[in-house]
Amino acid sequence: MFRFGVWLFGSFACVQSALADTMDWFIRDWPPVNILQGPQQGQGAYDVMLQRLMLALPQYQHQLHVSTLTMRQQMMQQEKSHCLFGLLKTPQRQTFLQFSEPVAVIPNLQLVARADHPMWQQIQQRRTVDLTWLFGQSWRGMVEEHRTYPSPIAEHLTEFVQVSATETNLVQMLKANRADYVLEYADRMHYLAQNSDGLKLRALPLQGLPAVTEVYVACSISEQAKAQIKAVNQALQQLRFDPQYRAALLDWLTPESRHLIKNYMAQSPMFSNVSQVAPADRPRAR
């Protein structure tokens, strides 16, 4: 597992003190925030941000471990020492994890469907979609199993087709008409659709959800992890003004999402002065 850390983030791990305390980071392949294979490996938004965070914590030896979503969910509720980057904070998770200050802000979940789906003829005048109204239609919705979804989605999970996060291509499910829509991060879906022969997607915010949501570092509850979270929070005070870290907040986003996040950060005391940072020069999700 240590070799993976060296492969992904270069030689910085080699200079870590052998006597330093260890922070074990568990990540999963979840493009475009974590990209663990292909020509863009290690260039996902969270990949870059975590790299910058680890460099800002030289007092620790950092090790990266690859895990599936199911493994992560199981590990969260065990006493094994571990940390996660980019996690949503919920009351239930706070019973077995301790959270840092926000490390990023991202566009929230949306309804995503094929751009040529007939549903858009009925909701084309809407700025948001009401889930209660949506469930009254005959369309088949889709979510990934073992994910943590916010209210009001969580109360209606039985209404959806639940698919494997590791074995199911959400875009192909929509393309094959096996589902009419998915509740997902629109930027992720646009990224996945890039290799789908020109398939066009369209997204709409969900009524009852804020436009953006904050994500955090979370570590298992222990005295050691308490000190680690404190160190993370201290490092974030500087990292929020680190050009590479701040640009990664906007990387891979569509122009619409980038505008949304820039506006939020410009008005947030915690993320102020970020809005002028341009994303890095690499391929974008469109």
The pLDDT tens digits of the residues spanning 50-74 come to: 999 999 999 999 999 998 877 877 7
CA 179 distance to own-chain centroid: 23
* Residue 74 to residues 67, 94, 139, 244, Cα–Cα distance (Å): 11, 15, 32, 32
**Residue 272 pLDDT:** 76
The pLDDT tens digits of the residues spanning 206-256 come to: 999 999 999 999 999 999 999 999 999 999 999 988 889 989 988 889 999
* Phi (first) and psi of residue 45, to 5 degrees: -55, -50
Q: How many CB atoms lie within 10 A of CB 10?
A: 12
The pLDDT tens digits of the residues spanning 5-34 come to: 433 444 344 434 444 699 999 999 999 999
| 60-66 sheet: strands from edge to edge | 60-66, 21-27, 83-87, 212-220, 97-107
**Does 280 have pLDDT greater than 70?**
no
DSSP H/E element including 191: helix 186-192
Say which residue, 172 or 281, is predicted with more confidence: 172
Q: How many CB atoms lie within 10 A of CB 111?
A: 23
CA 200 distance to own-chain centroid: 22
> What amino acid occupies position 167?
E
* Phi (first) and psi of residue 258, to 5 degrees: -60, -40
E-strand ranges in the chain read: 21-27, 60-66, 83-87, 97-107, 109-114, 141-144, 161-163, 181-185, 201-205, 212-220
> Are 53 and 110 in contact, with CB atoms under 8 Å apart?
no
Matching residue, tokens 């889709």: 142
Q: Would you say the CATH fold of 109-205 matches that of 2-106+213-267?
A: yes
> Are 82 and 228 in contact, with CB atoms under 8 Å apart?
no
Instruction: Find residue 83's DSSP bridge partners.
Output: 25, 219
The residues, any chain, with a CB within 8 Å of residue 12's CB and separated by 6 or more, are 54, 55
**Can you give the residue ranges of every domain in the chain?**
2-106+213-267, 109-205
pTM of the predicted structure, to 2 decimals: 0.86
Residue 273 zone, left/alpha/beta (φ > 0; ψ -120 to 50; rest):
left
Domain 109-205 falls in which CATH fold? D-Maltodextrin-Binding Protein; domain 2 (3.40.190)
**Residue 213 pLDDT:** 96
Q: Which two tokens stand for residue 192?
A: 């996945």
Q: How many CB atoms lie within 10 A of CB 216?
A: 22
**Residue 77 pLDDT:** 67
> What amino acid occupies position 69?
L
> What amino acid occupies position 12?
F
Average pLDDT of the chain is 87
Give dist(CA 89, CA 68) in Å, integer.
Answer: 19
The pLDDT tens digits of the residues spanning 123-157 come to: 988 999 999 899 899 999 999 998 999 988 998 89
> What amino acid occupies position 168?
T
CATH number of the domain at 2-106+213-267, please? 3.40.190.10
Percent of the chain predicted with pLDDT > 90:
68
Reported confidence tier of residue 187, pLDDT bands at 50, 70, 90: very high
**Residue 273 pLDDT:** 59
